[in-house]
Structure 1
Amino acid sequence: MVRNHSEDRTESIILPDGKIDLFLFLDDGVNFEIFIGGICNKPIVKHPFPKSVMFAISFYPMAAEYVFKRSFSDFLNKKIILPPGYMGFYREDMQNFEGFYRKACVTMQRIVTDPIDTRKVKLFDLINRSKGETKVEAIASEIGWSSREINRYFRKWLGITLKTYIDIIKFCNSLKQVKSGHFYPELSYADQSHFIRTVKKFSGTRPTVLGKNENDRFIQLTTLSDD
């Protein structure tokens, strides 16, 4: 949940995190909207919405495939506006976050009925456990699924390649060090120049500027746990 109590009209920026999100949004207690945000491979400017509240559920790509049962390849860096009542969610659900959370858990458990492809489970597990410090060829060899087939799967469902997804996950795992003021690569970047180029690609700015996060502009940094 993200709540804006003020009249502040400063734009915020959503950074790529390798997730697909379902949003419930209420603007100043009046305008209600449900939408899905597709995978991002670049920073997305979120226009200011003062006096607003937003509930969100983040899905790993494989979870989104089994929950929504649709491709997101045409919605790279875009959102899909949905009607009120989608998945049984309404404006009234935003009155209490705990109630929304419980309802969401029951809803997702009811929706997911198809058998889960164990290769996909292993695929995303390898990427996430490695924090993006892995190669396409290594993943293909480990799970017994050719790199061509994996890339076909990623393009069909997400609109990006496996390599791009791996780079996004590695970037996300670098945010914590950037937030703490460490601007040298701690993951398997070739050198600092490579690290800076990657951060600029996915955030639109250099690590030093990103780390300052002036006016709490970068949502992922603002909500990132210090644990």
Structure 2
Amino acid sequence: MYFPINKLEYICIQPDEPLTNIVESIWMVKNHSDEEKEGIIVPDGKIDLFLLADENGNFEIFVSGLCSAPITKPPFPKSTMFAISFYPIAAEYIFKQSFADLNNMKKTFPTDYWGFSRDDLNDFNQFYHKTFKIISSLLSKEIDDRKKKLFKLIHASKGEITVKELEENVFWSSRQMNRYFHKWLGVTLKTYLNIIRFSNSLKQLKNGDFYPQLDYADQSHFIREVKKFAGVKPIILNKNENDRFIQFSLMPDK
């Protein structure tokens, strides 16, 4: 998928097997504007690895843990960002480290992390194929079927599934699932479900539909949850003045 949005150039690709249970997408954003403005990232239930370069020659590689609240992003004018959005299961199977301490935070890696370099930002197609090979090589053990099913059910249900339903379908106790989420991600299973449900509401909010389509108790509950995860009421999020909500700006209309 490719489309320019204002002064942002955006491409997003969903990977094929064997990465479909690990990687949600591989994408790039080129900011052609020289305007200095902050942005806001809202929770979407993913772990993201970024390669970022600006026109002054600065280059960094960093990872962001799960977000459970809106995060203010510093301005990146005249910059190129390539990114890999991972499902949370990647913490255990790809990064092989806990992200519990990186909730709403980022961690900077060496500029040769995983063999990447600034030169990889010259060609997105080559970056995609290189990324595919790297992550495939890092996936050194078979993913537990319970964990694959757990995340598949959560995302297929758009976060509407209950913890009890997950217990019954995955054959994993709520205590064990919560222990897993605490250990690797630093959030409860219920919080993660709420994040996924909120993230799946963004499309309708962009289209101007402020009445909950997912299983919120009522409109007041919906508004509270949007304020919790976006920091503003639905109508303010919909207006998205100055394109300050990054994911909202990159989302195609209709």
TM score, norm. by length of structure 2: 0.88
The residue correspondences of 1:52-67 to structure 2 (distance < 5 A) are: 52-67=79-94
Letter in structure 1 aligned against 2:63: I
- The CA deviation string for residues 197-225 of structure 1, in whole angstroms up to 9 with x for no partner, is 00000000000000111111111111123
| 1:205 corresponds to | 232
SS in 2 for 1:35: strand
Please point out which of 204, 222, 227 is paired with 2:249: 222
| 1:33 corresponds to | 60
Please point out which of 202, 205, 211 is paired with 1:178: 205
| 2:189 corresponds to | 162
Q: 1:29 to 1:109 in 2, by over 3 A?
A: farther
- Once the two structures are TM-superposed, the CA of residue 29 in structure 1 deviates from its matched residue by 4.7
- Once the two structures are TM-superposed, the CA of residue 7 in structure 1 deviates from its matched residue by 1.4
| Stretches of structure 2 lacking an aligned partner (at least 5 in a row) | 1-27
Number of residue pairs matched by the alignment: 227
Runs of 4+ more than 2 Å apart: none
Q: Is the 8 A contact 2:69 2:230 kept in 1?
A: yes
Task: State, as a whole percentage, how many aligned pairs show the same letter.
Answer: 59
| Stretches of structure 1 lacking an aligned partner (at least 5 in a row) | none
- Once the two structures are TM-superposed, the CA of residue 142 in structure 1 deviates from its matched residue by 1.3
CA RMSD of aligned residues (A): 0.9
Do structure 1's residue 124 and structure 2's residue 135 form an aligned pair?
no
How far apart in 2 are the matches of 1:224 and 1:108?
A: 26
Q: Is the 8 A contact 1:29 1:52 kept in 2?
A: no
Please point out which of 17, 36, 41 is paired with 1:9: 36
- Once the two structures are TM-superposed, the CA of residue 65 in structure 1 deviates from its matched residue by 2.3
SS in 2 for 1:84: coil
Which has the larger share of helix?
1
Q: Is the 8 A contact 2:91 2:98 kept in 1?
A: no
- The CA deviation string for residues 166-195 of structure 1, in whole angstroms up to 9 with x for no partner, is 000000000000000000101110000000
How far apart in 2 are the matches of 1:51 and 1:130?
A: 38
- The CA deviation string for residues 129-184 of structure 1, in whole angstroms up to 9 with x for no partner, is 11011111111121111000100000000000000000000000000000000001
How far apart in 2 are the matches of 1:61 and 1:114?
A: 16
Letter in structure 2 aligned against 1:183: F
Do structure 1's residue 138 and structure 2's residue 182 form an aligned pair?
no
